[in-house]
Structure 1
Amino acid sequence: MDVDPGQMYPSVGVLNRGRGLLYRDPVAGSSTSYKQLNRIRPGVLVYSRLKAFEGAITVTPNDLPESFASQEFPTFTFASEADPHFFRILTTTQGMWDALQRASKGMGGRRERVKPADFLNIVMDIPPLPVQERIVEVIGVIDDQIAALDKEAETLERMSMAIAEDLLSNERIVALGTMLDDIQGGRSPQANTRPPGADEVGVLKVSAVTPFRFLPEESKALLPGTSMPKSALVQPGDVLITRANTPLRVGAVARVPDDVRNGLYLADKTLRLVPSPKLDPDFLVVAMALKSARTHLTSSATGTSASMFNVSQDRIRETPIPLPELDRQQEVSSAVLSVRANADAARAEVASLRRVRAGLLSGLLNRTINIESAELGGLIRGEGHSGA
């Protein structure tokens, strides 16, 4: 449809790895360079031509409000022998992502695209409609459990911070820098894109640190011959902060657990906070997750890209934190982390269920049902695209 400069257009994108829609802020017709937009309807298949190779594909929910996207997001309706709910499940599989990657054409990076005609020529094993419906029923039970556990974990995480805000509401406020002995960082090394093997040295990706959670698997193997300073070696008990990340995630703080694997190093986008003896390390993690600290850090971040903002060490030192006596710090952190432990247990159960789901779905699609081969073009029809 043609863009009206006087209209606002609620816009969406598509998340990678079949994770659904990305809901963006409405765009004014007068502020966009696009002359035409695609209307994204409920219950249609949509993918990103540019990011299809990353699995950016989904089926829109039936209750989707009026939404729009650029013509880089072609949409397709379903034939009568195709269950949209089944295809929504199919978009979450490695087989679909691999097929999209093979269909991607171009020369590197942002020039790679999957054209609608090539997408419709993808051949996959699609079972008959009754089997599709049965798969939806079986996988839906697991998906409902995952959704319930996700909600429980989110509720517990919000509860933990509500407890922290309440317990610390009347404490005196100091600048973080007055309670630090040092801020230490690593450097930008040459690294592979793959994670390090069991006996290899690795460097942390910026995604390794999220609020309260350290993810050692989010690391890359160093290239042979690359050296790192000993001061950048990650140690159990370290308190780490991201100095560069997306606008809402910059300044995330987590403590390294005691069982962290050996041979991981800080990169230049992650810093180590060294608290003074008057500041409990666990309490530091809690204090840096408070609304006042998060607001300070995110509002202090600067950058020219929507995907990576930076906050300086000076601004980190200026972060306001409450400072009760040491024994009170430990009481507060113990109360908060106890609730967070229950949230982590729910998250672990979600991860286990996702593995069960993946194995079950793979079996349903590849081993325990009689699958008929069909071209996607025979089950879906192009809607919002030019076909080129």
Structure 2
Amino acid sequence: MAVSSVDSVPYAGVRWYVGGVYEREVVPASMVKSKSLSRIETGDIVYNRMWATKASFGVAGDDVDGCLVTNDFPAFRADPNQAVSDYIGLLFESKSFQESAAARATGTTERRRLKEADFLDITVYLPPLAEQRRIVDLIGAVDGAIEAADEVAETTAATYEAALQTISSSLYPRVTVGDVLLVAKAGGTPSRKAADYFGAGTPWLKSGEVDNPAIVFAEESITEAGLRNSSAWIAPAGSTVVAMYGQGNTKGTAGYLERPMAMNQAVIALVPDTELIDSRMLFHAMRSRTVSLRQKAIGAAQPNLSKSLVIGEEIGLPERGAQSSLAGTLDSMLDQSSAATDLATSLRSLRSNLLTALLTSEHEIPASYDVLLEGAA
């Protein structure tokens, strides 16, 4: 298509690792140096020949129908008598296809190019059209289930975060965290001598393991001798723990101990006075203060929290009789979000295993599946 025939050019691109064909940008035609470009349509097979080693392959969807590409994005149309374009899109996800494409790319830089002839020369498993449609439909059904599970997880998590804000609002009387505690104590560094430190003993919680509503496990443990030779201490079950420093988004996160554990020096344990606050209420209250605590961290190179900052943080305190019910509601939201996330993870694993089996002829979908296809149509 001649660039001179349009006022603007909606460029399409192809994301790495089979991330899809997308509308990259729209530029005035007067800024385009090329005299001609190619128009792509829904169902076209497109790849970026400069990034074939990054699995930059995809199938155009309705959202990019009519977009334009340069000659660095070869586009093809599947022969309807031999292949379903969406099935070709699934082939792009297979490790064997990606390895074959990368092996055929030529050049001396990271941007080794895959020529059109070499792309078309890649050997793939191409079952009959009916089988291709079954595969596309089955994987599509799993994708729909994954999307639904992700949506439930995201919606429930957002509802939980909104509900947390009520604890920080003026709806309830304000108190400092220290006002509702029996003990607030950070951990220490145990002896690193093998005889003192390693082996069976008390779980030793580090800052990166804190962000968990039900902590029952730690990667390392500290022996009785190790405890004696350190300032570490064992916090009781029912304590809320807070990471005072750590990498990434670790700092300020809160967790809940389901069993007694020794604290790493970067973790403070808050033991609630249960006459004043429900133990789970304290956990959720500290979760509501994560952002605030991070903002108050001190230090130039690596800002950290201190005991005084943590126990000086203000929270809202509902009446004691209402706390268990409110905490239970918040727990249910967390459980629902976690269950949906776990389901999505399981479905992604199922999808990966299914795709591997279906694209290598290890398994075929029976013809009886066509009844479902007809019903969906």
The residue type equivalent to 1:343 in the other structure is S
Instruction: Indicate the residue corresponding to 1:283 in structure 2.
Output: 281
CA contact (8 A) 2:203 2:262 kept: yes
Q: How does 1:347-386 map to 2 (within 5 A)?
A: 347-366=341-360, 367-368=362-363
CA contact (8 A) 2:251 2:304 kept: yes
Deviation at 1:208, TM superposition (A): 4.5
User: Take 1:102 and 1:235, find their aligned partners in 2: how far apart are those partners?
Assistant: 57
Instruction: Indicate the residue corresponding to 1:246 in structure 2.
Output: 248
User: Take 2:141 and 2:232, find their aligned partners in 1: how far apart are those partners?
Assistant: 49
Q: Please say if 1:182 is aligned against 2:185.
A: yes
User: Take 1:89 and 1:231, find their aligned partners in 2: how far apart are those partners?
Assistant: 53
Deviation at 1:205, TM superposition (A): 8.3
Q: Please say if 1:159 is aligned against 2:152.
A: no
User: Take 2:271 and 2:86, find their aligned partners in 1: how far apart are those partners?
Assistant: 51
User: Take 1:59 and 1:175, find their aligned partners in 2: how far apart are those partners?
Assistant: 56
Higher strand share: 1
User: Take 1:102 and 1:177, find their aligned partners in 2: how far apart are those partners?
Assistant: 62
Instruction: Indicate the residue corresponding to 1:172 in structure 2.
Output: 173
Aligned-pair Cα RMSD in Å:
6.2
CA contact (8 A) 2:278 2:324 kept: yes
Return closer, same or farther for 1:265/1:166 CA change in 2, 3 Å cut-off: closer
User: Take 2:123 and 2:264, find their aligned partners in 1: how far apart are those partners?
Assistant: 41
User: Take 1:172 and 1:216, find their aligned partners in 2: how far apart are those partners?
Assistant: 35
Instruction: Indicate the residue corresponding to 2:9 in structure 1.
Output: none
Instruction: Indicate the residue corresponding to 1:346 in structure 2.
Output: 340
CA contact (8 A) 1:186 1:232 kept: no
User: Take 2:98 and 2:216, find their aligned partners in 1: how far apart are those partners?
Assistant: 24
Deviation at 1:364, TM superposition (A): 0.6
State TM-score, norm by structure 1: 0.54
User: Take 1:206 and 1:214, find their aligned partners in 2: how far apart are those partners?
Assistant: 12
Q: Deviations over 1:148-186 (max 9, x none)?
A: 122122222233343443476422233435545113366
Q: Please say if 1:313 is aligned against 2:306.
A: yes
CA contact (8 A) 1:209 1:241 kept: yes
User: Take 1:153 and 1:185, find their aligned partners in 2: how far apart are those partners?
Assistant: 36
State TM-score, norm by structure 2: 0.55
CA contact (8 A) 2:87 2:135 kept: yes
Deviation at 1:145, TM superposition (A): 1.2
Instruction: Indicate the residue corresponding to 1:108 in structure 2.
Output: none
The residue type equivalent to 1:360 in the other structure is L
Deviation at 1:246, TM superposition (A): 3.4
Return closer, same or farther for 1:235/1:182 CA change in 2, 3 Å cut-off: closer
Q: Deviations over 1:208-253 (max 9, x none)?
A: 4546476969x6x89xxxx897948898655344433435x64332
User: Take 1:351 and 1:360, find their aligned partners in 2: how far apart are those partners?
Assistant: 14
CA contact (8 A) 1:103 1:114 kept: no
CA contact (8 A) 1:48 1:57 kept: no
Listed as ranges, the gaps of 5+ residues in structure 1 are: 1-11, 27-40, 66-73, 105-111, 190-198, 371-388
Q: Deviations over 1:20-49 (max 9, x none)?
A: 89xxxx9xxxxxxxxxxxxxx998557997
CA contact (8 A) 1:46 1:59 kept: no
Q: How does 1:226-241 map to 2 (within 5 A)?
A: 231=232, 237=238, 239-241=240-242
Aligned residues with identical type, % of pairs: 18
CA contact (8 A) 1:46 1:58 kept: no
The residue type equivalent to 1:349 in the other structure is L
SS of 2:156's partner is helix
Q: Deviations over 1:77-115 (max 9, x none)?
A: 5553676644664566666788899999xxxxxxx9574
Instruction: Indicate the residue corresponding to 1:142 in structure 2.
Output: 142
Deviation at 1:141, TM superposition (A): 0.4
Deviation at 1:144, TM superposition (A): 0.5
The residue type equivalent to 1:320 in the other structure is E
Q: Please say if 1:330 is aligned against 2:324.
A: yes
Deviation at 1:333, TM superposition (A): 0.9
Greater alpha carbon shift after TM alignment, 323-332 vs 208-217: 208-217
CA contact (8 A) 1:214 1:256 kept: yes
Instruction: Indicate the residue corresponding to 1:386 in structure 2.
Output: none
CA contact (8 A) 2:156 2:333 kept: yes
Higher helix share: 2
User: Take 2:239 and 2:268, find their aligned partners in 1: how far apart are those partners?
Assistant: 7
Return closer, same or farther for 1:20/1:280 CA change in 2, 3 Å cut-off: farther
CA contact (8 A) 1:45 1:60 kept: no
The residue type equivalent to 1:299 in the other structure is Q
Of 295, 302, 305 in structure 2, the residue corresponding to residue 299 of structure 1 is 295
CA contact (8 A) 1:167 1:332 kept: no
- Greater RCO structure (CA 8 Å; 6+ sep): 1
SS of 1:63's partner is helix
Return closer, same or farther for 1:140/1:281 CA change in 2, 3 Å cut-off: same
Deviation at 1:334, TM superposition (A): 1.2
User: Take 1:87 and 1:201, find their aligned partners in 2: how far apart are those partners?
Assistant: 53
The aligned length equals 313
Instruction: Indicate the residue corresponding to 1:80 in structure 2.
Output: 78
Return closer, same or farther for 1:326/1:164 CA change in 2, 3 Å cut-off: same
SS of 2:252's partner is coil
SS of 2:63's partner is coil
